Every structure is written in C-alpha cells, then in structure tokens.
Amino acid sequence: MEIDAFESAGKQLNDSLSRKLASSQLDPQQASAVNHGMMQLERNWLNPDGIPGRPWFKHILYGARFTYAHLELPGLTEAVEKQDWPTAKQQAEVLQRALEKNTKLIEQLNSSLN
C-alpha cells in the first residue's frame, strides 16, 4: 500500500539522518541535497490545477473551506461530500501519484545517505 511505503521510507530516512548526525558524518553536500529534496517533497504536494472549483488552493493535503475552517485532503473531501464520484476518483488519483512520487524521492534521499 502506498501510504505504508511512504511511512516506511520516511522512517528509514529519519533513521539514516539520525545516525549521520549522531556520528558527525553528514557532510555539507549531503545536508544540502537532503534539504533540497525535502523542499521538493513539499512542492510535490501542490497541484498546478488546484482543487476542483477553487483553483487558487494548490495544496492537495490541506486547505481551507469557504468558512476558512481547516480541511484535510480538500479536493477528495469536497468531492465525497458532494457525492461527486468521478471527481473523487480523479482527486484520489492525484493524491496517489503525489504519494508515489514522494515515496520515490524519500527513498532516493535515503540511498544518497547510505
């Protein structure tokens, strides 16, 4: 399952970074590469098209309702609440692609540390 793979990759990266930092073996190039990778990871949660009906909200993990109350998985949540199943399916696919992309990125970052 993609979420489990993402969580596992994140834990492995955390462990690798902790070991490198504890042993003072994280060189500046590695630190810079991990930092840039983590910034890219956050950017990968953005959808250039935005969420359906509100294209100015680009983040696919969190956003705000029209009332400004917090909203997790805004595109998917709003589609499900409206029972708009084709849009819900499309938003789930957007989330899945981003999750897969970020899992690969974290795995690459971890490999660069080992």
Tokens matching residue 32: 């810079």
Percent of the chain residues past pLDDT 90, beyond the cut: 83
Predicted confidence at residue 49, as pLDDT, reads: 94
| Separation between Cα atoms, residue 46 and residue 14, nearest integer Å | 23
Mean pLDDT over 33-52 rounds to 96
Q: What is the CA radius of gyration of the chain?
A: 17
Total Cβ atoms within 10 A of residue 104 = 14
Residues 11 and 106: beta-carbon distance below 8 Å? no
Name all domains of the chain by residue range, CATH numbers in brackets: 2-113 (1.20.930)
What's the whole-model pTM score? 0.88
